Amino acid sequence: MSKTQFMTLARHIIEGEKRHPEATGELSRLLSDLSLAAKIISLEVNKAGLVDILGFTGGNNVHGEQVKKLDMFAHDILIRAMDHGGHFCVMASEEEENIIHIPARHKIGKYVLLFDPLDGSSNIDVNISIGTIFSIYKRVTPDGMPGTLEDCLQQGLNQVAAGYIVYGSSTILVYTTGEGVHGFTLDPSFGEFLLSHDNIKIPKKSHIYSINEGNYLYWHPGLKKYIKYLQEEDEKTERPYSSRYVGSMVADIHRNLLYGGIFMYPADHRHTNGKLRLMYECNPMSMIIETAGGRASNGKKRILEIQPEILHEKTPLFIGSEEDVRMVEEFMAKEEISSEVYFSNKS
Ligand code: P6P
């Protein structure tokens, strides 16, 4: 029997905490609570086509984007699963403009949870993989009091845990507490996440790139040259690369984590800070990829070193195999131009 068989998520987390005598077991419990929410969301995602849960709520989220019912379902499930366990002092969600306080009737904990309840939701109706992303910090304000925005606006370097659940051909939960990246596949027959990807390492160099090439006209000139470089033929450097872009960040990054690859959502004339959110998309994914041996930057600076200023802050993102990310950074540095010139609004 392989050593990973029947290693459940709960047992794996506890095994991990045994290596830290000072651990209280709190992180184990909150990650187990998260996995329960993931199972419930997975059930709904996998029958979305059968239950009248498709289509738009008619409402818009804080970013003016039309919200699918499944987005709000996942948002509500995560809050209901996580707000009473006594783990958190405050939460924040892509679907909520302001921080989410813990109801007064519940014990206030020492952790902070930021999450994107259902990323890639535009793919729900066409049965393309989507995902939940979560980021966990320890609070920085005094214990016992309600958490604040200050507890949320921490550098990604301070994360104590990060992870995602990808709802695809199977439901896989990937998490890290900084000691390895581990993947668990949900066995729906008995509702357990079983260890399926132990200590994942991303290849240092790849032959896959992920970017929305429809935005080519608006890109930084160095990025244009980089993409053209990837499309040239050179056997020694495995070029041309393969282009793979699902339009669902969790699916794209999960594939690149396992196979190697670089995922890019750059700034451009229309997205002057990129499109993806720092706190609950880029930071958690960056902790995972860096822990797996990869690299994540905004084109110049490590994502995890960015000091956030607002909750729904956006950032350009270049993430994946270390050599590939460093190369695109070099291409853009060579074409360094003033951002005024580059981002002057030509539209
Ligand atoms: P575009 C999904 O809406 C998302 O936030 C990410 O999951 C995905 O990578 C990106 O946007 C796709 O954006 O502009 O290429 O359609």
Substitution site in 119, 213, 256, 318 for ligand 1 pocket (most atoms within 8 Å of beta carbon): 119
Which residues of the chain form beta strands (DSSP E)? 56-60, 66-68, 88-93, 100-101, 111-119, 130-138, 161-167, 171-176, 181-187, 192-197, 208-210, 242-243, 262-265, 295-297, 317-320
Instruction: Give the residue, by CA position, lying nearest to ligand 1 atom 4.
Output: 120
Residue type, 281: E
How far apart are the C-alpha atoms of 115 and 92, rounded to whole Å? Answer: 6
The domain boundary, picked from 197, 227, 242, lies at 197
Q: Tokens standing for 334? A: 């060579």
Residue 303 lies in a domain: yes
Neighbours of 98 (CB within 10 A): 10
User: Residue 120: enclosing H or E segment and its boundaries?
Assistant: none
* pLDDT reported for residue 16: 82
137 in the same domain as 213 = no
Does 305 score more than 90 pLDDT?
Answer: yes
Calculate the alpha carbon distances from 346 to 273, 275, 335 in Å: 16, 19, 19
> Is residue 76 a contact partner of residue 68, using CB atoms and an 8 Å limit?
no
Q: Whole domain around residue 290: which residue ranges? A: 208-346
Does 271 score more than 60 pLDDT?
Answer: yes
Instruction: Give the residue, by CA position, lying nearest to ligand 1 atom 15.
Output: 212
Nearest CA to 228 out of 237, 238, 236, 239 is that of 239
215 in the same domain as 158 = no
pLDDT in tens, 172-221: 999 999 999 999 999 989 899 999 999 999 999 999 999 999 999 999 99
In degrees, to the nearest 5, what angle opens at C-alpha 237 toward C-alphas 255 and 324? 50
pLDDT in tens, 99-144: 999 998 999 999 999 999 999 988 888 889 999 999 999 999 999 8
Looking up residue 80, the CATH number of its domain turns out to be 3.30.540.10
301 in the same domain as 273 = yes
Does 344 score more than 80 pLDDT?
Answer: no
Nearest CA to 280 out of 163, 146, 129, 157 is that of 163
pLDDT in tens, 10-56: 888 888 878 877 777 888 889 989 999 999 999 988 876 555 555 55
Substitution site in 249, 312, 314 for ligand 1 pocket (most atoms within 8 Å of beta carbon): 249
Percent pLDDT > 90 in the chain is 72
150 in the same domain as 189 = yes
Q: How many domains does the chain have?
A: 2
161 in the same domain as 214 = no
* pLDDT reported for residue 290: 98
Looking up residue 313, the CATH number of its domain turns out to be 3.40.190.80
